């Protein structure tokens, strides 16, 4: 059952990531803001897959956001 729960959580995070990525295409955002948002989403998904919980998701999103922010300077 735990693996089913993990897949459901991963699917939910992937859905949220898709929504956030579509929002990141808004014209009102700067290139750096888009990079930060995209990095946070990708990092959050990766953190959830690797960590398997909320802490992994949050840590991945934080690290991904910083990387996205720095690479789009």
| Spans of all domains in the chain | 2-71
Number of C-beta neighbours around residue 41 at 10 A:
25
pTM, full prediction = 0.65
Residues 6+ away with beta carbon under 8 Å from 33: 24
Higher pLDDT, 27 or 63: 63
pLDDT per position as a tens digit, 31-58: 888 888 889 888 988 888 888 788 888 8
Rg of the Cα trace of the chain?
13
Nearest alpha-carbon partner for 37 in 26, 53, 50: 26
Percent of the chain residues past pLDDT 90, beyond the cut: 16
């Amino acid at each position: 059952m735990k693996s089913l729960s993990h897949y459901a959580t991963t699917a939910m995070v992937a859905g949220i990531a898709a929504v956030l990525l579509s929002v990141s295409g808004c014209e009102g955002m700067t290139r750096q803001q888009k990079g930060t948002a995209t990095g946070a989403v990708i990092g959050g998904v990766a953190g959830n897959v690797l960590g398997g919980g909320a802490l992994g998701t949050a840590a991945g999103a934080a690290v991904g956001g910083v990387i996205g922010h720095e690479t789009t300077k």
